[in-house]
Amino acid sequence: MPRQVPSQERRRWHGLLSNMGISFTDGIRHLGPPGLATQCMVLGSGAPITEDLLPPGDSPQKPVMGWTLPGLISIFLPEFPHRKFPGQDDFQILGFIAKGSFGPILKVKDRSKEKTYAVKVLPKSEILKHGVLEQSKEEVIIQRQVSHPFLHNLQDCWQTQRHLFIMCDYCSTGDLYTYWLLKGQFGEDEARVFAAELGCALGFLHDFGIMHRDVKFPVPPEPDHCNMLRKVRDCPYSMPKTFNPALALLLTELLCKNPAHRLRSLERFKRQTFFRGTSFDSQLLQKRPVELILELKNHPDRLAKAMRGLSMDYFQNFDCDILHSPTSPTDLSPTLANIDLSQTLATAQGLST
C-alpha cells in the first residue's frame, strides 16, 4: 500500500529535505502508538504471526487486524531489503558492543573484507510496540545521504523475519556514554574536546535541515509541541557555582528558553570564549588524544557498563545462532565468554530466516 501523502504544511516545513529526497514523517517528531495507516499496511496474505514472535507480555493487536508475515516484512521495504542474516562463512559475530534503545549492538567481522563493523539489532516487535516504524526507516534514509568524520557511516541494512539490522562503522575506542558512566563527570578540558566534536557533527546536520532527536532539554518528551514548550519554560535550572565564567556563559546561551536568543549556530558556538584556542578542524580533533579515554578504555568495568543491563532474553527468538558464531571463546568479549551457552539460546538454533 502506498504511503500517505504528507500535508501541504509538512511539505513547506521540510522543503529542504524534500529537495534532497528526504521526507521527515511523524515517526521522528512524534513517538506515539502505531497509527491506523501503519496497521493497515501490515495486512496481506499468509499465516498469522504467532505470539512467540513477540517479547514476553506482548501480543498482536487482535481487536483491530491480523498481523501476517508478508505484511511484517513489506512494511519495512524498501529501506530494509529482506534477506537472511549472513552465515558464518561471511560474518563472524565477535560479541556485544553495547545496549541500544531497542536492542543490542553487535561487533561483527566481515570475513571477505577483513573489516569489523557495528551492527544494531532492532526487534520488529519493539519497533511496532513503540510506534517508531517510520523513524526506523527515516534513520537509514538519512544515514545513506550524510557522511562526516563524527557521524557513523552506514555500511548496510537489511531485515529478517523478526529483526532489522543496521550495520555501521565500528568505533574501537567505545562510546562516550559508557565513559560518562565510568567517570561520573568530565573535566572542562575533556568536555571542551567532546563539545567541539559534537558541535561539528550537529552543525553539519543542521546545514542539511536535520535535527538530531536525542539532543534536547533535560525534560521528558511531551506528545505535542505546546506542552513541550510549556514544560521547557517551567523547567528550573541552576548553574553550578564551580563552573568558570566562560563555561557558565556557554551553557546559559545553549539552555536559553527563548529560541530567538538561544545559541543555535555552529559559527557562534565556535566563537564562545570557552573554546578559545580550540580547533574545530575535524582532522585535527581526531588526532587530539584525550588521556581520560585512553585510561578508561581498559577499565575492568567498561564492558559491563556498555551492556547497560542487556539480557540474553533478547536472543531467545533471534533469527540466527548468535552465541555460536565465533570460532573460539577468545573471540568473545569477556562478558560474553562467561555465559553458559548450553542454557542460552537453545531455541535460537535453526531460526535463521
Cβ density class 11-43: b for 16+ within 10 Å, e for less: eeebeebbebebebbbbbebeeebbeebbebbe
Q: How far apart are CA 263 and CA 251, in angstroms?
A: 9
214 is catalytic: yes
Predicted confidence (pLDDT) at residue 11 exceeds the cutoff of 60: no
Task: Give the 3-state secondary structure percentages of the chain, helix then strand then coil, rounded to 5.
Answer: 40, 10, 50
Model confidence pLDDT, tens digit, residues 56-92: 433 333 333 445 668 889 999 999 999 988 877 788 8
Cβ density class 73-86: b for 16+ within 10 Å, e for less: bbbbeebbeeeebb
Q: How far apart are CA 131 and CA 328, in angstroms?
A: 39
CB neighbourhood size of 44 (10 A)? 16
> 238 or 212: which carries more pLDDT confidence?
238
Of 149, 159, 129, 153, nearest in space to 58 by CA: 129
* Active-site hit among 58, 90, 156, 214: 214
* Predicted local distance difference test score (pLDDT) of residue 264: 85
Predicted confidence (pLDDT) at residue 252 exceeds the cutoff of 70: yes
Q: Is the pTM of this model over 0.75?
A: no
> What residues does CATH 1.10.510 cover in the chain?
176-296
What is the pLDDT confidence band of residue 17, given thresholds at 50, 70 and 90? very low
* Predicted local distance difference test score (pLDDT) of residue 274: 96
C-alpha 148: how far from its chain's center? Answer: 16
What is the pLDDT confidence band of residue 346, given thresholds at 50, 70 and 90? very low
Of 93, 77, 74, nearest in space to 85 by CA: 93
> What residues does CATH 3.30.200.20 cover in the chain?
8-172+308-343
CB 118 within 8 A of CB 168: yes
Homologous superfamily of 8-172+308-343: Phosphorylase Kinase; domain 1 (3.30.200.20)
CATH class of 176-296: mainly alpha
- How many alpha carbons lie under 13 Å from residue 37 in its C-beta half-sphere? 11
Q: What mean pLDDT comes out for the span 207-212?
A: 84
Torsion angle of C-alpha atoms 234, 238, 243, 248, degrees rounded to 10 = 40
> Which residues are within 8 A (CB) of 289 and not within 5 positions of it... i.e. 6 or more apart?
none
Model confidence pLDDT, tens digit, residues 270-301: 999 999 999 999 888 888 767 777 777 776 67
